[in-house]
Amino acid sequence: MLAICEGIRAQRLINQVMSAGTLDGAVGAQTLGKLELVARAAIPKIVSRLGAAQHDEAGLLIELLRRLIDKNTLALCLPALAERDERVVSGVVSAIAGARGIDATKLLPLLDDANVSKPAILEILSAHKHALHAESLLRYAYKLDYQDQTVLFRIIEEAADEQLVPALINRLDAQDPGMRARVAGVLSRFPTPAAREALHRLLEDNHKTVRLAALEALARTGAGVDVRQVCRMLKEPDIKIQTKAIEVLVSLNHPDTVKHLLEPLRDESEHARRAAVEVINEIGTAGAIKDLLVAIKDSDWWVRTRAADALGRIGGPRVVESVVTLIKDEDEFVRRAAIEIVNATKDPAMFDHLLGSLDDSDWWVQERAVDALAALGNKRAVPSLIRMLDKPAQEEALTLVLVRALGKLGSNAAVEPVIEQLKVGSDNVRREALQALASLVDEPCANVILIAITQHTAAGGVELRQLAGEISARIRASYVTAITPTRLRAAGESDSAAGALVMPETVSRGAGLARPETVDMANLQPGDVLAERYRYIRPIGKGAFGAVYLMEDLMIREEIILKFLNAQVASDESSIKRFVYELRFARRITHRNVIRIFDMITFGNASAISMEYFPSHTLGAEIFGRKPMDTNRGLKIMQDVCAGMEAAHHVNVVHRDLKPSNILINDLSLVKIVDFGVAAAVRDTETRLTKTGLVIGTPTYMAPEQVLGKPIDARTDIYSLGIILYEMMTGRPPYRRRQHGGHVSARAGQGADAQAAQSPVAADLERGDIEMHGNQPGVALSEHGRAQVQPRGA
């Protein structure tokens, strides 16, 4: 009966509070005092009203509940934490979390209750964390899932004191790596020797999450960190751990750090070496780096090289500034290591320091300084290098390095000193001088270099003369010179036949010569080398007369194209003749808008032409899809093509097969004409290759006289350029019929197919108001190689 009366009274008092809308004031305080007397009856009724209460009403109920909860009434609220209504649970959690004077440890058993929300309990525990015993919380950590465990450890970290350290260390044997990682986080609060020792052990844990947590914990403790062990962690494959190790080492800035970086700096992993250098970039000093270099003094050469390369390539301003001071160090090894690092930096700011090292007493430092200056490419170094080269009794090794460097720097001032070495040097030096001259040659000095090569190599050995012949042929193919083969033989004439200049092999096929098998390029693998000079890279494509491959010329260290004569063409004598013409005439053309052709090369029984490699795409790729080009871009491309063709016509070479696929454009919009493979000199005395009935050219872009086998000249190419320009501006060629006879008839008897004018130039082309001038040979091109476009009748 008493319980019923208390229930009725509690309900009446709750209603009074809700009607008043507040607990403030004298009336509210009086009502609250009366409710405290019947709290056991009031609390369940307040909880039951939370589910249906509106926002303001719910807030007042929660506040009323909070004031009624104490250590004696807390248990009355706990069953509500198992309610399914989230509004009820949320209200009760808020009330308990805000209550005062309760014993929150009574909620810990609820962490074992599957019906109670774990996040709700953890929210209450977090609100009362300073009143909790951390070790009691630790016992329940194993029973929670990952997310709830994370929240619990945040509470433990706040509630823990130093007395918890032994219990935390005991938990480091837990099988769960997440548990070990969280324990490490709590240990970071206590910089005791036992805690630091435990954290250092965790740096060797087999799970990366634990190692990272231990490293972060040690970073928070600050003092007493084993720098050597942290330096070893720069070799970690995990980027997060490696980054944190760098951060810790930089933050500590311990004086012994740099010397402990030796291990990661000489590691096989580039990531480890890079990490070590990043630390040095932040804390390195000249003294520390010197100690590091001295430490690797007795290591294998590859270890020293690897370390120097990492410091040079990755090292920042602090490393560079420190190394500069070491270039003049009294220790010879330190100077050598310093110059290697400077060599790897390729920093133009090192120029003056490298010049100073040319006078070093150590030959190694001198040679590497020369190499570094050559790599910088600053021609201001040439006078100093020439002075070194002119010194008497020079070591051959240093002479070789100097000649090679002068060749790389490419100054005309180096031509005469290098020729002198070709004249008086050893065989090794003379070979290096030939390579340097091949790099130094340009139009003004080509004649001088050709004569010097012939004069000073005619009496050399076969290998030297072979190299001299190859380089001479390359120079003659690339530059317009006044030196004929007859003059070269006269310049190098000697008393014996052995003194004759050995020229590269050429193709010679007589009527009775058997056809040997060609080289099987299909079986070549990347890296294979032909004739000890041409390293195979990859195939480029196939044309009508042969396959095209990308190679590296190991002699000049450049990528080139080799175009091989295929078996079908090799079986036809007229095709071979056309192949030879490609070299004989097309290599006369030296212009920036024409692919350069170097030489004819033989590989046993196979023949190929070497030519310039030009990474690009074709004009055909740009006009694919029948869409007109941008007018300005189209005219600029055609202007460059006309400039290249003017150069070809100037030396009496007609392309005969101009089409979009034979016009190359790179990413910088540089235009080059390719495949003069069907070109022949315009001479009445030469054999006309169309006598056999073989049509040279592509029908869509061919002039009528070319299809009909009539004489051709420069105007034939001009006609093709007009067709190409029309297609560029309108998106399609002017004639649709592709058969040879029909194609010519269409051109002779009708105008171009109707096209929608897409640009002013296209409209003029449509009306026939613009023409490519070709009434006289060559008049389509101005003296500057610009396309001449003007209205008819102008």
Determine, yes or no, domain membership for 186. Answer: no
Asked whether the beta carbons of 133 and 105 are under 8 A apart, the reply is yes
User: In the prediction, which pLDDT does 528 show?
Assistant: 86
Determine, yes or no, domain membership for 765. Answer: yes
Written in H, E and C, the secondary structure of 611-632 is EECCCCEEHHHHCCCCCCCCHH
* Together in a domain, 474 and 578: no
More confident: 246 or 140: 246
C-alpha–C-alpha distance, residues 747 and 726, integer Å: 14
* Together in a domain, 623 and 725: yes
Model confidence, pTM: 0.45
User: In the prediction, which pLDDT does 515 show?
Assistant: 36
Q: Which residues contact 195 (CB under 8 A, 6 or more apart)?
A: 165, 168, 169, 187, 188, 221
Range of the domain at 582: 521-612
More confident: 243 or 395: 243
Determine, yes or no, domain membership for 7. Answer: no
* Together in a domain, 677 and 769: yes
* Together in a domain, 667 and 756: yes
User: In the prediction, which pLDDT does 635 show?
Assistant: 93
Asked whether the beta carbons of 656 and 717 are under 8 A apart, the reply is yes
* Together in a domain, 550 and 677: no
Structure tokens at 285: 């000093």
Q: Which residues contact 259 (CB under 8 A, 6 or more apart)?
A: 288, 291, 292, 295
Going by pLDDT thresholds of 50, 70 and 90, the confidence category of residue 32 is confident
Domain CATH code at residue 770: 1.10.510.10
* Together in a domain, 465 and 607: no
* Together in a domain, 544 and 600: yes
Domain CATH code at residue 566: 3.30.200.20
Going by pLDDT thresholds of 50, 70 and 90, the confidence category of residue 708 is confident
65 phi/psi in degrees, rounded to 5: -65, -45
* Together in a domain, 601 and 534: yes
The stretch 119-125 carries a mean pLDDT of 90
* Together in a domain, 491 and 555: no
C-alpha–C-alpha distance, residues 534 and 76, integer Å: 91
Q: Does 793 score more than 70 pLDDT?
A: no
C-alpha–C-alpha distance, residues 94 and 75, integer Å: 15
Determine, yes or no, domain membership for 473. Answer: yes
| Of the residues 578, 612, 646, the one at which a domain ends | 612
| Of the residues 581, 612, 643, the one at which a domain ends | 612
| Bridge partner residues of 673 (DSSP) | 594, 663
| Of the residues 595, 612, 629, the one at which a domain ends | 612
C-alpha–C-alpha distance, residues 347 and 275, integer Å: 21
The stretch 275-303 carries a mean pLDDT of 76
User: In the prediction, which pLDDT does 570 show?
Assistant: 55
Choose the weakest-confidence range: 33-42, 214-223, 351-360, 540-549.
Answer: 540-549
* Together in a domain, 604 and 625: no
Helix (H, G, I), strand (E, B) or coil at 547: strand
* Together in a domain, 626 and 773: yes
Q: Does 410 score more than 50 pLDDT?
A: yes
> How many domains does the chain contain in total?
3
Choose the weakest-confidence range: 426-430, 619-623, 756-760.
Answer: 756-760
More confident: 180 or 307: 180
User: In the prediction, which pLDDT does 710 show?
Assistant: 78
Q: Does 740 score more than 60 pLDDT?
A: no
Nearest to 182 by CA among 204, 153, 155, 207: 153
* Together in a domain, 450 and 530: no
The stretch 71-80 carries a mean pLDDT of 89
Q: Extract the runs of DSSP E, i.e. beta strands, from 505-650.
A: 529-530, 534-542, 546-553, 558-565, 597-603, 606-612, 617-618
Determine, yes or no, domain membership for 779. Answer: yes
Determine, yes or no, domain membership for 728. Answer: yes
Determine, yes or no, domain membership for 708. Answer: yes
Asked whether the beta carbons of 203 and 245 are under 8 A apart, the reply is no
Choose the weakest-confidence range: 284-293, 458-467, 745-754.
Answer: 745-754
Determine, yes or no, domain membership for 282. Answer: no
Structure tokens at 765: 């082309």
Q: Which residues contact 579 (CB under 8 A, 6 or more apart)?
A: 507, 545, 546, 565, 569, 607, 609, 677
